């Protein structure tokens, strides 16, 4: 083994490996998404028992081998053990982790995604916002971080910034009233929903979960995100299937 390294991040997933070990997937600031083995983590006396669970945020000390990492110790910032007691929030949490896993890659700086996950988990537990609004905010901001989000600030056809009324999933943007004929399978978007989309895209992560909307706007945003994700993400999330079954 080489010298130990320290990374900052979150445990995206954790699975049994062998008789006593765990294999975890870490999303890290320094090395992107990596896998590591937590040796003996399933033993009741192991110091790695608690730190190798999903939702754990902190700094992790690893040894880098030829083909894998080994977890040696961790300094935990937040365990988020509260998720074990709250439903359906725990199912939303697992979905958000899988969503982040889908977008993450090895060797990239994942600071923004880690921060988004942390703020989103806190929002879920504080219960000040509707869970479906939190879901829409997270999905859109995660896509913004990865550069895959709709054009909602100007018409994709003429560049007009006012009177944006028609959303086209296929074209990936909101058209002005003068250009609705060129939109493909477009549907009307209310001014309140448009402003909400613009706010989520433009705001810092720290300000994302500081507003609420009426149910009509929440449902409109939810419908937009469902259709947009179905068009641009080529994956069916297993945790989403469970979430939709439980909620």
Evaluate if residue 210 carries a pLDDT over 70. yes
pLDDT interval class at 68 (50, 70, 90): confident
Q: How many CB atoms lie within 10 A of CB 25?
A: 19
Q: Are 173 and 166 in contact (CB under 8 A)?
A: no
SS (H, E, C) 85-154: HCCCHHHHHHHHHHHHHHHCCECCCCHHHHHHHHHHHHHHHHCCCCHHHHHHHHHHHHHHHCCCCCECCC
Average pLDDT on 173-192 reads 89
10 Å CB burial of residue 226 (0-12, 13-18, 19+) is: middle
Conformational region of residue 48, where left means phi above 0, alpha means psi within -120 to 50, and beta covers everything else: alpha
Question: Domains in the chain, please, with CATH?
Answer: 4-79 (2.40.50.140), 82-154+160-246 (1.20.1440.120)
**pLDDT at site 67:** 79
**pLDDT at site 181:** 80
Q: What is the mean pLDDT of the chain?
A: 94
**Residue scoring higher pLDDT (202 or 236):** 202
- How much of the chain exceeds pLDDT 70, in percent? 99
**pLDDT at site 173:** 94
Evaluate if residue 72 carries a pLDDT over 60. yes
**pLDDT at site 66:** 80
- How much of the chain exceeds pLDDT 90, in percent? 87
97-108 residue pLDDT tens: 999 999 999 999
The pair of structure tokens assigned to 17 is 């490996």
pTM of this prediction exceeds 0.85: yes
**pLDDT at site 112:** 97
Conformational region of residue 172, where left means phi above 0, alpha means psi within -120 to 50, and beta covers everything else: left
Evaluate if residue 153 carries a pLDDT over 80. yes
31-56 residue pLDDT tens: 999 999 999 999 999 999 999 999 99
**pLDDT at site 212:** 95
The pair of structure tokens assigned to 169 is 């999933």
**Residue scoring higher pLDDT (129 or 59):** 59
Those residues with Cβ within 8 angstroms of residue 90's Cβ, 6 or more apart along the chain or in another chain: 83, 84
> What distances in angstroms separate CA 225 from CA 143, 155, 228, one per listed residue?
10, 19, 5
Of 177, 167, 105, which is closest to residue 140 (Cα–Cα)? 167
Average pLDDT on 116-142 reads 95
Evaluate if residue 1 carries a pLDDT over 60. no
Evaluate if residue 183 carries a pLDDT over 80. no
């Amino acid at each position: 083994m080489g010298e130990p390294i320290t990374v900052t991040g979150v445990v995206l997933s954790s699975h049994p490996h062998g008789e006593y070990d765990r294999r975890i997937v870490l999303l890290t600031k320094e090395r992107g998404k990596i896998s590591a083995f937590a040796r003996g983590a399933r033993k009741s006396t192991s110091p790695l028992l608690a730190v190798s669970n999903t939702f754990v945020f902190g700094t992790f000390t690893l040894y880098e081998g030829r083909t894998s990492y080994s977890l040696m110790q961790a300094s935990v910032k937040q365990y988020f053990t509260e998720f074990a007691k709250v439903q359906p929030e725990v199912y939303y949490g697992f979905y958000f982790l899988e969503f982040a896993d889908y977008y993450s890659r090895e060797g990239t700086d994942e600071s923004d995604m880690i921060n988004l996950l942390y703020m989103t988990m806190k929002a879920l537990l504080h219960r000040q916002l509707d869970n479906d609004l939190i879901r829409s905010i997270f999905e859109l901001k995660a896509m913004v971080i990865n550069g895959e989000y709709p054009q909602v600030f100007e018409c994709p056809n003429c560049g007009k910034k006012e009177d944006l009324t028609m959303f086209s999933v296929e074209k990936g943007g909101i058209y002005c009233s003068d250009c609705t004929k060129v939109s493909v399978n477009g549907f009307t978007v209310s001014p309140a929903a448009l402003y909400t989309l613009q706010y989520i895209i433009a705001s810092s992560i720290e300000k994302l979960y500081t507003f609420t909307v009426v149910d009509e706007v929440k449902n409109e945003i939810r419908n937009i995100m469902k259709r947009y994700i179905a068009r641009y993400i080529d994956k069916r999330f297993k945790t989403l299937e469970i979430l939709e079954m439980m909620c």
